[in-house]
Each structure stands twice: as structure tokens, then as C-alpha cells.
Amino acid sequence: MKANVHIDDARQNAIVALSDLADREESLEKAVLGQDLFGLLRVIVWLRPDADEQALRARIEEALAASGQFWTGDIYICSARTSHADDLIYSSAWDEGITVPGVEKLRIDDRTRTRTAWLPRFRMPLWEASRDWRPAKTETKEDGSPAKGPPVVVWYSFKGGVGRTTALAAFAIQRARDGERVLVIDMDLDAPGAGTLLGPDPSDLPGGEGNASRGVVDYLLEAALGDVQFGDYVHRCKRDRLVGDADGAEIVVMPAGSVDENYLAKLSRLDLEVRGERHPLEEMLVQARDEIEPDWILLDSRAGLSPSAGLLLDGIAHLHVLFGTNSTQSQLGLTQVIRTLGEERIRRDGSQANCFVVQAMVVDVVEVEKAARAQFQTWLESTMRDHYVIVDDEDPEGELWSVRNMDAKMSPSRAIAVPYRARFAFFPSIDDVASDLVEGPYLEIAGRILAQFPSSNKAGDKRGE
């Protein structure tokens, strides 16, 4: 009878056992450890021509017995006698698998039901980010997709209620006041907020009153059935009190949808899991670029480890603005996000996803604030060192963030602190606090973003130098 072990212990035992075998057995060319939907473990091994198949099977069985009820005993051998069809299946598992640090001959291939974007199936931004992209908007890559487009920036927090959406709105307002068109997309589908915070102008509403009636949920359901017009799912904020009177000043908002008696039924029909080469969200971004022609696309993420959050952190963005607090819950969760953006991507494709961290809700009491900033900065530096930056000799060309440049002003290891402001606890309209959102730490956040996406013809970029 197999020993009763816990799922984490079973997986770790199998990884250690197979890593040891791969290191010791010269006849073992490579191996994949597969874990299925139920957490059950199987093994695929590739053998060299002179291998003793039966002896190796016995050693694998013995080594993985400690994984208890999670070890199925299934061992698939790929050798010269393997059929072409089976060889394709086994090779696919190897190609999909993630590497094990320090073990070149072993990969892990997970099968999951949900949250597929959180696992290492990393995507890349759809286009090269440029705020001067419009003259080249017809340029395409070999696959016909856009070559250039506006910067795509994701705003994420592990815990809700930390001012993430407010900071997003602040950046949108600042850029609009500098004469830019900003597209805000509310991907916080379970708890929408951006579409309400950045509410429509009265003239942009049916009958001049009420809420915008369509948004992301409607788009994703309807676009799957045929051609749609992106403009049918957005509203606009162009009022002077919010965006000023600069030429071209405009915030275009795609809300999650109208949270009415029909919203939950529509939300329940959405499938956000990653399948195939192109996700519907990517098609939506391309259409947004072509129809709206924004200078920026800002995506407000769902908090936590939700499917939509994983999708936004899967590589489609050019920059990720991460919000955290001094709470243990926040820091534990944000550590996993930083690991996904850094360590996991380096292991998979050799590059980090671009990010920086905002310390939110800092108590505005001198001694408390000082201690809170110090604790947060210490945690962030440690987390970045362990899970994001690389050691110097792994990047001789200096193209990645490494231990060497952790102290640089723009380093992801340097947090921007935003104090808690009681004034933001309640306000009738964002128009009433717009002046507070174009100063202080909100300017510092904007400066960090602008510095990464310079423009040759935007005077406002000087704040990011």
C-alpha cells in the first residue's frame, strides 16, 4: 500500500528523485515529470541506444515510490522503437515543460483546469511600444500583426483597496492634460471600478444619464460570434474639469460592463483560460489600437491570483505597475507575482518582464511612515534579489536587471511610496480630487513610467527624466 503523502511533498520528492537519476544515469538522455489535473504524477524518459530499459524502469519506480498515492507508476519510454505518433506526444510534453534549475535533463509539464496564464506559457507584447507609433501604424510583422503601438501598462495589486485604480486614473488624467489620448480598460471583471471612477461625460450617455451600458464582458462574448466595433463598448471623458483643455485631451474608457441584473449571467459565460496561440484579449487590444489610436493603453487588473490577473501578467504588457503594502498577506502574494515576472521568465525565455513596485497606503505619521518604508524596502530588495534580478556574470551585455544595478534610481528594486489620504476615502466625483492626482507621489509614478517610454515630440516627458 502506498504511503499517504501530501501533494506538495509528492511533487518535490519526484523532482528531487528524477533530478538525481538524470545526474547519475548516463543512459538517460532527458525526462519529463508530468502532473495531471488531479495532481497525479507520470514520467516520460528518453533513452540512449545502449540503455537497459528494464533496469531504468525499476530505478524510477523505486525512486518515486515515496510520492505515495500521487505516483501512478506510469513510465513512458521514448527510444528507437517508439512510434512516430507517440514520439510527437512525448516531444510536445518536453517542449511545453518548464525547466528545473540546475538540471538540464529534466522538465516539468503541468496539466491544469484553470488559471493557465499563471503557469509558464509566457507571451510577448503584441507590438513594439512607441508613443510615436501612428506614422508607422500600417507597418506589420511577418505574421501580419502590428509592428508598433502604444505602451500597454498593467496595474496590479495582490490585495484590493490599496488605491491601485485611483493611481491608474491619476496617470490617465496627467497624460490627457498633456494632450494625449489614453485608453483605460477595466479588466477587474469581478469587482469593476475603473469604468465608474472615470465616468462618462453626460453627452456620451444614452439620453444624457445613467451608466455606460456595455464593456469588456459584452465585447468578449460578442466578438466571438462575429465582427464588432470597438467604439460600441467605450465611453469618453473629455470634460475640462478632469482632463483640461489641451488639444487631443481625452480618456477613452472601456468599462467591465454595466453591473446590473444581467451582468453576473454574462460574466459566468466568459472563458478566460489560455488556449491556442492567440487569446481573445490580444485580438481586443489590436482592435483597440487600430480604432481608438491611443497614446497609452492602461489595463486595470483584478487583485489576487484570479484568471484575469494571470492573463494580464502573462507577458502582453510592456510594463507592470505592482501595488503592495506592509501586510504579510500582500507581500507573500506579491512575491509570487515578482517571481513569475522575473525568475520564471528568465528560466523559460531568458528575459524579465518589466515592472516596478508602489508601496501603497503608507500611514502619514512621521515615525510610523519611516519604519513602514524601511520594512517595505528591505522586503522588496530581498524579494527582487531572490526572484527577479540576475547575478552579474549571467548578463555580460548588461541587458537585464541584475544585482549590479539594484540601487539605480529606476530599478524595480526601488519602491515609490504613496501615503494614505483620508480625502480619498470618499468623494462624489473624481473631478473633485483631480487636482490632487497631478502632484506628489502620483507625479513620481508617472515619471517612472514616462522614463521608460520616451517620446520625441511630447514636452511633458521632461518630468520623467
Q: What is the pLDDT of residues 189-218, one digit of tens each?
A: 999 999 999 999 877 665 444 346 799 999
Superfamily of domain 7-111: ANL, C-terminal domain (3.30.300.30)
Q: What's the CA gap between 227 and 348, in Å, rounded?
A: 35
Q: Is the pTM of this model over 0.75?
A: yes
Instruction: Answer whether CATH 3.30.460 is correct for domain 117-324+421-464.
Output: no
Cα–Cα distances (Å) from 130 to 79, 151, 231, in that order, read: 49, 6, 23
C-alpha cell at 2: 502506498
Q: What is the pLDDT of residues 76-115, one digit of tens each?
A: 999 888 889 998 999 999 988 888 888 899 999 988 878 8
**Grouped pLDDT means (10 residues each) for the chain, 465 residues:** 79 95 91 94 93 92 94 92 90 87 90 76 86 89 90 97 96 96 97 93 59 85 92 93 90 95 93 82 96 97 93 94 96 96 83 95 88 96 95 73 90 94 85 93 97 76 35
Q: Do domains 7-111 and 117-324+421-464 have the same CATH topology?
A: no
Q: What's the CA gap between 248 and 431, in Å, rounded?
A: 19
Domain boundaries, the chain: 7-111, 117-324+421-464
Output the 3-class SS for the chain: CCCCCCHHHHHHHHHHHHHHHHHHCCCEEEEEEEECCCCCEEEEEEECCCCCHHHHHHHHHHHHHHHHHHEEEEEEEECCCCCHHHHHHHHHHHHHCEEECCEEEEEEEECCCCCHHHCCCCCCCCCEECCCCHHHCCCECCCCCECEECCEEEEEECCCCCCHHHHHHHHHHHHHHCCCEEEEEECCCCCCCHHHHCCCCHHHCHHHCCCCCCCHHHHHHHHCCCCCCHHHHCEEECCHHHHCCCCCCEEEEECCCCCCCCHHHHHCCCCCCCCCCCCHHHHHHHHHHHHHCCCEEEEECCCCCCHHHHHHCCCCCCEEEEEECCCHHHHHHHHHHHHHHCHHHHHHHCCCCCEEEEEEEECCCHHHHHHHHHHHHHHHHHHHHHHCCECHHHCCCCCCCEHHHCCCCCCCCCCEEEECCHHHHCCCCHHHHHHHHHCCHHHHHHHHHHHHCCCCCCHHHHHHC
Q: Residue 3 has what pLDDT? A: 55
Q: What's the CA gap between 318 and 305, in Å, rounded?
A: 20
